[in-house]
A = this chain, B = another copy of it.
Amino acid sequence: MTEPSVEELRMLLAVQARGSLTAAAEELGVTQQAVSQRMRALERRLGLALFARAARGTTLTAHGRLVADWAQGVVDQLDALSAAAASLRADRQAQLRVAASMTIAEHLMPVWMVSTGAHAIDARVQLTAVNSAGAIDAVRIGQVELGFIETPDVPRRLASRTIAVDEVVIVVAPGHPWAKRRRLPLATLARTPLVMREAGSGTRATVEAALARADLSLAPPAADVSTTAAIRALVLSGGGAAAISALAARDDLATGRLRRVHVDAPPFERPLTAIWDGERVLAEPARDFLAVAQRMGLGSGTGTAP
């Protein structure tokens, strides 16, 4: 059975919003017949009666409303991808250039971009994904107006504001022995090789700093990997425990693919900080964007607002 396409999901949502196939067709800029055809095909594919068709219009059945709500999640994700990808594209003269560390670019920028789009901040944002050091440099040389870093050391000469506090969490596959433990001693963690991102990424530094505060040092990592997908694959295939950003783990924890291990120690926290050139006045688009970032922080999920 083939899966529903995003166009079909968008059509479904349009029908729900407008209350008839004809109105939905108008909204989407196609003919009524096209909508009728496609929605019928969607029902056939899913094997569900989604629509209650009547002379006054078409409403959704209970099943239809369920599917529509799930569809909303899909299109929201896709819209976030589109918005974020657009901000990565450099072929357009942007009114605001931003350099963000990987974690922030990956997990927060999509949300921020959708938000700026929705609230019509009059700025086209151009995003560059770098590491924290790169973001600092980019701000220093004036290549970007705004930077976002995930290391605690706030460089001199640059103005900064902490946006949120990220947490590095320990995750394992559901079958892993640690998955059942309520609290893992810090010493046990210290002597266990972990899967984590490459050295530069700040994740390791955060864990090492936390261990150092308890006079412990970190075992050599089990693996240095450079992509979230690789970490996921490793951990899921029984590759042991991984230390990753709570932001990166969030979806996998929500869907049960990964389990969080609570370590018997203070949280491994690190600030997410916005930086800019303190000797210049921040332009309008930058100020607006900073406000959005500050307001939304990590979103509702994990972590702690400042």
Contact = CB atoms under 8 A, between A and B. Distances in A.
B111 A81 contact: no
A222 interface: no
B3 A46 contact: no
Interface string A253-290: 11111001000000000000000000000000000000
A256 B305 CA distance: 14
A219 interface: no
Given A3-B82, A47-B91, A76 B251 contact: yes
Contact of A89 (B47, B62, B85, B119): B47
A155 interface: no
Interface string A64-87: 011111111110111011101100
A63 B115 CA distance: 21
B295 A256 contact: yes
Given A85-B46, A89-B46, A299 B254 contact: yes
B227 A114 contact: no
A17 interface: yes
Contacts of A80: 70, 73, 255
A5 B5 contact: yes
Contacts of A82: 3-4
A77 B72 CA distance: 10
Nearest to A258: B300
A91 B76 CA distance: 30
9 contacts: A3-B78, A46-B88, A67-B81, A67-B85, A70-B110, A73-B80, A73-B81, A119-B174, A300-B302
Interface of A: 3-6, 9, 13, 16-17, 46-48, 60, 62-63, 65-74, 76-78, 80-82, 84-85, 88-89, 91, 102, 105-106, 110-111, 114-115, 118-119, 129, 174, 226-229, 233, 250-251, 253-257, 260, 292, 295-296, 299-302
Given A3-B78, A69-B227, 16 more contacts: A16-B227, A46-B88, A65-B228, A66-B88, A66-B129, A70-B80, A70-B81, A70-B85, A73-B81, A76-B255, A115-B256, A250-B300, A256-B292, A256-B299, A260-B300, A300-B301
